[in-house]
Structures are given as structure tokens and as C-alpha cells.
Amino acid sequence: MAKPYDVLIVGGGVIGCSILYQLSKRGKKGLLIEKNQLASRASKAAAGMLGVHTELDGGSPFYRLAKNSRNMYPVLAQELKELTGTDIEYEENGMVKLARTEKEAKNLISAASTMDQDEGVEWLSSLKLSTFEPYLSKQATGGLFIPGDGNVSAPKLTEALGLASVRLGAEVMEYTDVYDFIVEGSRVSGVNTSLGPYYASEIVVAGGAWSQSLLERIGVTLHSFPVKGECFSVKCSRKLVERTIFTEGCYIVPKVGGRYLIGATEHAHTFDETISVSGMMSLMKKATDVLPDLIHAEWEKAWSGIRPQTQGGLPIIGRSERWEGLSISTGHYRNGILLAPITGVMMADLLEGKENRVLHSHVGSFSKWN
Ligand SMILES: Cc1cc2nc3c(=O)[nH]c(=O)nc-3n(C[C@H](O)[C@H](O)[C@H](O)COP(=O)(O)OP(=O)(O)OC[C@H]3O[C@@H](n4cnc5c(N)ncnc54)[C@H](O)[C@@H]3O)c2cc1C
């Protein structure tokens, strides 16, 4: 049977679009099929932090992978600008992880000792912190300044990756639901969609939190689950913080145009995207405790998204052990924007059968599935 596409990707979030982009750069003919619009689910909701140091342990394979991925952003931002004209709002504005108690300060200082020296991580005493970020509450006992961690606009990044791929020869179909796989013996050779069947030499499922339900059609269990997150944004004509402020249960991300994005709640095992009053109240309390002047900012909007999490806590990136022609890339949980560039490269290498020594040492630490 004719296979007009080299690779067919299910899911137009940041992961599917990044894989499509890397494959398109290598001259592969890709088709991406998205149920809604590109960047309509988790990748629209994300705060866009490129936080290598927010929740990963220094020195771990996952930390290395995240750092490699974050370091790809300056070049990626430039490439996307040239190919699409889109500014993905990449900023290397740094991050401050706040300590509100002596115990938190001790933990942060100890975590800093495991981080790479070349990151230039610096402990800020409460005095230094108050000159760094003068509007932060004076209650903070100090903060860990991480200069290299930046942020982007997650929806703009996702859309630009999709558009750049199209400019390089890929096809993108929106508002098309993939509801089953076409199987020939032990091989997955295509998908059935609301617009009919599509075939390709390789199929990649990058359906975010919805990957599991689709893969169940062919008996693949991912051991993954959804985690809802709520956020809100405000505007302020005055610069309240220069860097992203990260603290237990809350972060404040300065965006272009005087916007501040505040997130995010965590509710596991639900696909319900409604925004709760309790979620908003708890975020507002935490954020104004840290940055009291936020109370005078102008309300913009609130939203939510469903993060794809795995039971092992690591993303699933690789070929199915059970089905030939099937690969999976999901479970990026709170770090999908950070990890998108390297995930695209890893999947493109894998599909081309390339040995990538640097990345394979990381892949080995990822979860296995059937
Ligand atoms: C509130 C919030 C804040 C976050 N902040 C950050 C952050 O600051 N930094 C960071 O790195 N990460 C952050 N994340 C995590 C990040 O958003 C996710 O890890 C990432 O977006 C996952 O991308 P994805 O492509 O796997 O999933 P998604 O963006 O959910 O995309 C999956 C796509 O697949 C499509 N799809 C599913 N099933 C089918 C089907 N059967 N047929 C066709 N299409 C299908 C869906 O419609 C969807 O568009 C945040 C997440 C949330 C919710």
C-alpha cells in the first residue's frame, strides 16, 4: 500500500509540533493531525517557563536533558523568526527561587551545590534580594538566582513550530480526530480519522494527556494520568519583577507588554478544565503574599490546561516495544515547553535510526511501556 508520508504525528501540541519541525528540517515528509487547533490544550495553557532548576535535581540525566533543551532556545527562536516571522517572546530573564523560612533557605542552598557551576547560580541574602527585586515581600529569607532560566510564549512557540514545518514542506490537518489505528500484522501502518484513513511509514502519538485513551485501542498502556493546572494573568504599567519568581505552590512570570502570569494549581486525575474559585483564591493569596503590589494590577484572564503526567514521573519518548512503526512522545508533565526542542531532536534521531550518544544516555532513564 502506498505510504505518501514518512511520518504521521497525532497531536498538535508543542511536542507534536517540535517533532514535526525537526523532521521537516531533515527533509522528511510529515503529516500532523490535530483534533482541535494547534496549541489548543496544555501547550496553550503553559506559563512558558524554561525552568531547568525549578524542580529537577542537578546532575540527574533529566537535568542534563532539560539543560540541553533550554540551551537550544536562542537558535530556535531565531530560526522560527526567520521562517515564520513569529517572535516567540524568548527571554533569558532568569529566575529567583524564593525561600520563606530558614529551612527552605537551607534546602535551596543545598540544592544549588548540585547544580552545574557554569549556570552561575547565586544565593541572594534577604538584603541583596531586596535590591534585586525591590517589590518582593520583605518576609523572604533569601532566594536562589538562576540567571540562565528564561521563558517564552508557549502558544506562539507551538504555532510557530507548526507553521515553520509547513513552510519546510510538512502538512498539518486541524479539526481532525484520530480515533483508531490501522494495523497490518505486527505493524501500525496508519490511522483512522474523522476524514478517513491516512498512512505513513512511521506513526508518532504525541496526544498529550489524551495519548493513553487513543493507545488503548491497540492494547498499549502508558501508566499516565492527567493533572489539571489553573493560571491567571494581570497587567501592570509598572515593572513589578524583572525575573520569574518561583516559590512553593506559586510562580509569577513577567511577560512582554507588562503582563504577569501567575500559576499554577495541581489537580490530578481529571480532564475537567473548569476554573475553580478556590484555585484562583489560593493562587492570588500565595502571589500577593510574595508580591504585595500585585493587588493593584489590572485583571486580565484565567484559564486551565491538562498536563500529561506518568506514574514514573518521567516522559515517555521512544518506540513501542510491541508495535512496529509506532512511537510515543508524551508525559512531559510540567516541563513540556522546556523539553520540546530536545524531544523533537530525540524523536527525529530515533525515527532516522541515528545513534545519538549524548541523548541515548538520557533515553535509557525513561519509562518503558508495552
Ligand atoms: C497551567 C500549566 C502551566 C504550565 N507551565 C509550564 C511551563 O511554564 N513550562 C513548561 O515547560 N511546561 C509547562 N506546562 C506543561 C506543558 O504545557 C506540557 O507539558 C506540554 O504543553 C505538553 O505538550 P503536549 O504536546 O504533549 O500536549 P498538548 O499541548 O495537550 O497537546 C496534545 C494535542 O494532541 C491533540 N490530540 C489528542 N488526542 C488526539 C486525537 N485522538 N486526534 C487528534 N489530536 C489529538 C490534542 O487536541 C492536543 O492539541 C504547563 C502546563 C499547564 C497546564
pLDDT attached to residue 365: 47
pLDDT attached to residue 360: 58
Which CATH number characterizes residue 116's domain?
Answer: 3.30.9.10
Do 230 and 322 share a structural domain? no
Domain of 268? 225-310
Ligand 1 centre to CA of 270 (Å) is 14
User: Looking at the domain assignment, is residue 90 inside a domain?
Assistant: no
Which CATH number characterizes residue 45's domain?
Answer: 3.50.50.60
Q: Which residues, other chains included, contact 278 with Cβ-Cβ below 8 Å and sequence gap of 6+?
A: none
What are the backbone angles phi and psi of residue 187, rounded to the nearest 5°? -115, 140
CA distance 347 to 318: 7
User: Looking at the domain assignment, is residue 191 inside a domain?
Assistant: yes
Boundary residue ending a domain (292, 310, 328): 310
Do 232 and 181 share a structural domain? no
User: Looking at the domain assignment, is residue 370 inside a domain?
Assistant: no
User: Looking at the domain assignment, is residue 349 inside a domain?
Assistant: yes
Closest to 239 (Cα-Cα) out of 224, 223, 228, 254 = 254
pLDDT attached to residue 323: 95
User: Looking at the domain assignment, is residue 323 inside a domain?
Assistant: yes
DSSP string of 293-316, one letter each residue: GGGGSEEEEEEEEEEEEETTSS-E
Q: What is the pLDDT of residues 47-100, one digit of tens each?
A: 999 999 887 777 788 888 999 999 999 999 999 999 999 999 999 999 999 999
Low-confidence ranges of the chain (pLDDT < 50): 364-365, 368-370
**Is residue 15 in contact with ligand 1, taking CB distance under 6 Å?**
yes
Q: Which residue has its alpha carbon closest to ligand 1 atom 26?
A: 208
User: Looking at the domain assignment, is residue 142 inside a domain?
Assistant: yes
User: Looking at the domain assignment, is residue 368 inside a domain?
Assistant: no
pLDDT attached to residue 57: 74
Q: What is the pLDDT of residues 271-317, one digit of tens each?
A: 999 999 999 999 999 999 999 999 999 999 999 999 999 998 889 99
Do 230 and 333 share a structural domain? no
Do 171 and 65 share a structural domain? yes
Ligand 1 centre to CA of 363 (Å) is 21
User: Looking at the domain assignment, is residue 267 inside a domain?
Assistant: yes
Number of domains in the chain: 3
